[in-house]
Every structure is written in structure tokens, then in C-alpha cells.
């Protein structure tokens, strides 16, 4: 059964009752709903966004941003500097719009979470079967053919400097002819249809406004997510609730529902600074595949990679050099966007009465901005070694970099008023572990002192993993859902 078929969508005639309600259908929610439904539980999966096929809009297009992202993909965490971030808002969540790059949680990160947060039963050996199962379910694999030219340039530059660079696998199913053409195995291609095939009821275009608890059941106050999407408000009543609405919306829902202890106080991101690089030869082409190489020489605190580099993305990355934006139209085959990603800073998620979206703030201290500046300089050095002839960092007023000598022109600390930062990785707003002074939920995602309430998304991660987080989210969601079934 395809997740995009209308017969998987249930139009509630009134209030809905179920054993388990899962709020959010991204990687955490989809894995949870699938695991519980296939175990015979009566599951309702609620999603604020619409149900759209993976191919409903061109990948990485303006149409996709309008249809599948919250706020068109342009939201900002307030701070100095602010950090632009994007959230998927559709059935399948971020898995429908991201690049599909996959990592397991690094071993040293799991060890750090155990020591700092009291996270139990999450050693590398204990997590390995959950990672392996998810990898099989979404066909995690490396490219069967050559990587895009822009991706290879980063890899070659790192090799010339003696730095560690890897090809990151993706959740893709490739064509049998051995080419690099393939289909991303997003949640609407994998776990969501499995869940609905096992009897899970899917309710898209449904916003959960708040939670209540009475007489051993949770009450979900639901309302239309957009005008005309649904006729009226209704209520879902469930014995157990898994909240998987993402690192921003999960804490916002808990706060609106009066659940406040430690909620939303420990937001972590991967702040990212970008560089547009020009090469004399062609490195870009229409439909260029997703770049797959990352430089991990300085991980976990710094990582470098190649970003989506279609002309609209190039123009956006050039906004700090407005005099060069017009060049993108003619010169884009020679251009590509690269990034340096760090793990610094901490933020907060708050709710504001009368507003649907939460207020997000994020603070980077001078040491964080110094680390990012160091990452920017190292990334530029790597790209010069790869043969780039000119580099434009996302720092307003920064001159173009054309040689090793020009690296001295880069700031030693990124200026707060002239640096453009962004992120697509957010986590840690409801961390898990046994240390109640630091956490919102226990080691298996059960909210402290809220019986029957669980969290199943990036909120649970105890800190920045230093890698793309979807693999971590899926593995912990599977682990925690199976633990719930064992206890029930």
C-alpha cells in the first residue's frame, strides 16, 4: 500500500480513540508508529503537514520549500548572529526534503551522553542492532557510480592536505544498472506505508494544540492545520502518547500543555557557515546528485561538506556578496556551495501566547565564533587545494579569497553583525537520561512524572552528535518503541 494513496487517510467523524497516538510522522514518529502497529497496537499517526508524494515537487526546489517546509523553509533562531533554520512540515517530515545522508551516532558521543546525562543501555554494542535494522529498512548504501564533481573536489582537496575525508552513505534504493540514479527511501516510501498497512490510521493536516490527562487517558486537542484542510476541531483520546514533532515543535507542545521541567532549555544545533567556490572547469550540472563527501579530520567539533548547489541555492548563498549574484545565472556550472559545520552554542525554545510558532533563540559565545572562523579558514584552504580559483564566504564585507596568502584576510572570530549562519540539524530540547536535573525523559524516552507520555524525535538526543542526526533518531525510536512493547 502506498503512503500517498487516499485510502490510508482517515477523516474522523468526531472524536477518535486509540491505544497509542503518535504526533509527528518524521523519522522518529514514523519508525515508532510502524514498530507499534506491526506489533498489533491500535495506532493513530497525526501530522500537521500535508500528505504529498515524494515526487510531488522537484527535489530542492522553491515549490518543494513552499509545499513541504514550515514557513517556506525560512525561520530564524534569534541571536547575535541569528541562525536560519529549516523544518520539514509534511507526512514524512525532514526525511522528505533532506539529502538522505546517514551516520550512526559516534561511539565517543554515546559515551559522553552516558557520563553526562546518565543515559543507560545505549552503548555502541546495545545500539548496533537498532542501527542495522533501520539501515536495512531504508536501504542505506554508498553510491554505485561516481560521485558528483563538486563532491569529489572536496574529497580531492582533503586528500592533498592529508586530511580524513569519507563518502557518507545515504538511504537510497539505486537502479539495477549500477548507475547513481536512485530513489530516496524517505518515510513515505518506507515506514509510513508499512504502518498504515498494519492498520495505523494516518491523520495529516492535523495540528495538536495541546495535551491533557484525565482518568488514565491522554486527550489531544486537535485542530485544522490550515484553512480548508479539515472541517472542524476534534479530540483524540489515547492511553499512550509519543510526541515526535521535532526539536522545536515537541517542546512547544509540551510547554503549551503545562509540562515544563527542563523542557526547551537546552537546544543544540550544528551552526553552519558557507562558502561559494568557483572552479575553472565544470563542477555543476542540471540535476546534479547530492554531494556525499565530508571531511572529518577535525570531527566532532568541525566537519566540512558540499551542499545543494542548484542556481537558486547559489544565489541565496551569494547574498552576502550582492554584486556577484548576477554572475550566478551565467557561471553556475563552475560554482558550488560548501559548508563548515560546528557543534557550539546553546539555545532555548519558548512559547508566546497567541502565536502558533515558538520563539527560538540561540547564543554563540566568542569561543564558538572563533571555532567557526577556524572552520571557515580550513574549509577555504581545502577548496584552494582542490583547485578553486575564487571563494566567497558568507560574511558580508569579506573580500574574495583567491590564494593561500588571502586566508589572512579571513576574520579570526566571525563578526556577529556580518555573518550569515544556518542549520538543518536541531536537537536536545528534551534530552533523555537518568539524571533528572538535566533531562526531560528517562533513558527510554518516557517523560519524567508523566505516565504514558513519551518523546521519540531529535529532542531526545542529549547533545550535538557532530553528524547528520537521522540515523540516531531512527535507532533510538526503534529501541524505545521495542522497550515500550516489552514493558506493556
Provide the CB-side half-sphere exposure for 439 (13 A, CA): 27
Report the distance separating Cα 405 and Cα 43, nearest Å.
61
Q: Specify whether 425 is catalytic.
A: yes
Q: Is residue 79 part of a domain?
A: no
- Tally the domains of the chain: 2
What residues form DSSP beta bridges with 221? 210, 235
Provide the CB-side half-sphere exposure for 63 (13 A, CA): 7
At 286, the pLDDT band (50, 70, 90 cuts) reads confident
**Same-domain pairing of 466 and 340:** no
Q: Is residue 246 part of a domain?
A: yes
Kindly report the pTM of this predicted structure: 0.95
Mean pLDDT of the residues in the chain: 94
**Which CATH number belongs to the domain containing residue 236 in this structure?**
3.50.50.60
Provide the CB-side half-sphere exposure for 13 (13 A, CA): 0
> Of 423, 438, 457, at which residue does a domain stop?
423
Cα distances (Å, whole numbers) of residue 472 to 317, 467, 477, 479: 29, 9, 8, 11
**Same-domain pairing of 324 and 194:** no
Say which residue the cell 577535525 belongs to. 298
- C-alpha cell recorded at residue 417: 553583525
**Which CATH number belongs to the domain containing residue 151 in this structure?**
3.30.410
Judged against a pLDDT cut of 60, whether residue 1 lies above it is answered with: no
Quick: pLDDT tens for 153-203: 999 999 999 999 999 999 999 888 766 678 999 999 999 999 999 999 999
Quick: pLDDT tens for 359-393: 999 999 999 999 999 999 999 999 999 999 999 99
> Of 423, 452, 468, at which residue does a domain stop?
423
Which of 103, 268, 321, 425 is labelled catalytic? 425
pLDDT reported for residue 11: 61
Quick: pLDDT tens for 412-439: 999 999 999 999 999 999 999 999 999 9
**Same-domain pairing of 22 and 106:** yes
Of residues 426, 451, 429, the one with CA closest to residue 440: 429
**Backbone dihedral region for residue 333 (phi beyond 0: left; psi -120 to 50: alpha; all else: beta):** alpha
Quick: pLDDT tens for 121-154: 999 999 999 999 999 999 999 999 889 999 999 9
**Backbone dihedral region for residue 120 (phi beyond 0: left; psi -120 to 50: alpha; all else: beta):** beta
Q: Quote the domain boundaries for residue 348.
A: 144-182+271-423
Crossing angle of the two packed helices 470-487 and 124-137, in degrees rounded to 10: 100
The residue ranges of DSSP E strands in 291-352, in sequence order, are 293-295, 302-306, 335-342, 346-350
Q: Provide CB contacts within 8 A for 450, sequence distance 6+.
A: 213, 259
Report the distance separating Cα 184 and Cα 97, nearest Å.
10
Q: Is residue 85 part of a domain?
A: no
Quick: pLDDT tens for 257-269: 999 999 999 999 9
Q: Which helix (H) or strand (E) holds 209?
A: strand 206-214
Judged against a pLDDT cut of 50, whether residue 110 lies above it is answered with: yes
Amino acid at each position: 500500500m502506498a503512503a500517498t494513496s487516499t485510502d490510508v487517510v482517515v477523516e474522523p467523524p468526531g472524536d477518535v480513540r486509540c491505544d497509542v497516538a503518535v504526533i509527528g510522522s518524521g523519522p522518529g514518529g514514523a519508525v515508532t508508529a510502524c514498530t507499534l502497529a506491526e506489533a498489533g497496537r491500535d495506532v493513530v499517526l497525526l501530522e500537521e503537514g500535508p500528505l504529498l508524494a515524494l515526487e510531488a515537487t522537484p527535489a530542492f526546489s522553491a515549490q518543494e520549500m513552499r509545499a513541504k517546509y514550515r514557513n517556506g523553509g525560512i525561520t530564524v533562531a534569534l541571536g547575535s548572529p541569528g541562525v536560519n533554520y529549516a523544518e520539514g512540515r509534511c507526512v514524512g517530515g525532514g526525511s522528505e526534503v533532506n539529502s538522505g545522508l546517514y551516520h550512526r551516532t559516534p561511539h565517543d558521543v554515546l559515551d559522553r551522553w552516558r557520563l553526562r546525562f546518565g543515559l543507560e543501555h545505549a552503548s555502541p554494542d546495545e545500539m548496533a542492532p537498532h542501527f542495522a535494522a533501520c539501515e536495512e529498512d531504508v536501504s542505506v548504501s554508498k553510491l554505485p557510480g561516481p560521485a558528483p564533481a563538486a563532491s569529489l573536489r572536496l574529497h580531492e582537496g582533503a586528500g592533498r592536505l592529508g586530511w580524513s575525508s569519507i563518502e557518507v552513505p545515504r538511504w537510497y534504493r539505486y537502479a539495477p544498472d549500477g548507475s547513481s540514479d536512485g530513489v530516496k527511501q524517505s518515510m513515505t516510501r518506507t515506514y509510513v506505508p508499512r504502518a498504515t498497512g498494519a492498520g495505523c490510521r494516518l491523520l495529516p493536516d492535523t495540528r495538536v494544540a495541546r495535551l491533557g490527562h484525565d482518568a488514565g487517558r491522554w486527550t489531544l486537542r486537535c485542530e485544522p492545520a490550515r484553512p480548508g484542510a479539515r472541517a472542524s476541531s476534534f479530540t483524540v483520546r489515547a492511553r499512550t502518547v509519543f510526541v515526535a514533532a521535532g526539536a522545536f515543535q515537541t517542546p512547544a507542545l509540551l510547554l503549551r500543555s503545562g509540562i515544563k521541567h527542563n523542557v526547551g532549555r537546552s537546544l543544540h544545533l550544528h551552526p553552519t557557515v558557507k562558502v561559494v567556490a568557483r572552479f575553472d572547469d565544470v563542477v555543476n550540472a542540471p540535476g546534479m546528485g547530492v554531494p556525499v563527501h565530508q571531511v572529518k579530520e577535525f570531527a566532532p567539533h568541525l566537519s566540512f561538506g558540499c551542499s545543494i548547489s542548484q542556481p537558486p541555492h547559489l544565489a541565496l548563498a551569494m547574498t552576502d556578496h550582492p554584486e556577484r549574484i548576477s554572475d550566478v545565472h551565467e557561471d553556475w556550472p563552475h560554482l558550488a556551495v560548501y559548508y563548515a559545520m560546528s557543534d557550539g552554542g546553546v539555545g532555548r525554545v519558548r512559547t508566546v501566547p497567541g502565536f502558533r510558532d515558538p520563539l527560538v533563540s540561540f547564543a554563540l559565545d566568542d569561543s564558538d565564533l572563533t571555532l567557526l572562523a577556524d572552520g571557515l579558514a580550513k574549509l577555504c584552504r581545502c577548496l584552494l587545494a582542490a583547485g578553486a580559483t575564487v571563494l566567497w564566504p558568507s560574511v558580508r564585507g569579506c573580500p574574495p579569497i583567491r590564494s593561500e596568502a588571502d586566508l589572512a584576510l579571513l576574520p579570526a572570530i566571525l563578526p556577529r553583525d556580518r555573518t550569515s549562519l544556518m542549520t538543518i540539524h536541531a536537537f536536545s530540547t528534551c534530552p533523555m537520561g537518568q539524571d533528572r536535573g538535566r533531562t526531560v525523559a528517562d533513558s527510554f524516552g518516557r517523560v519524567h512524572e508523566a505516565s504514558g507520555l513519551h518523546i521519540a524525535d531529535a529532542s531526545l538526543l542529549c547533545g550535538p552528535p557532530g553528524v547528520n542526526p537521522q540515523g540516531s533518531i531512527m535507532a533510538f525510536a526503534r529501541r524505545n518503541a521495542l522497550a515500550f512493547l516489552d514493558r506493556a
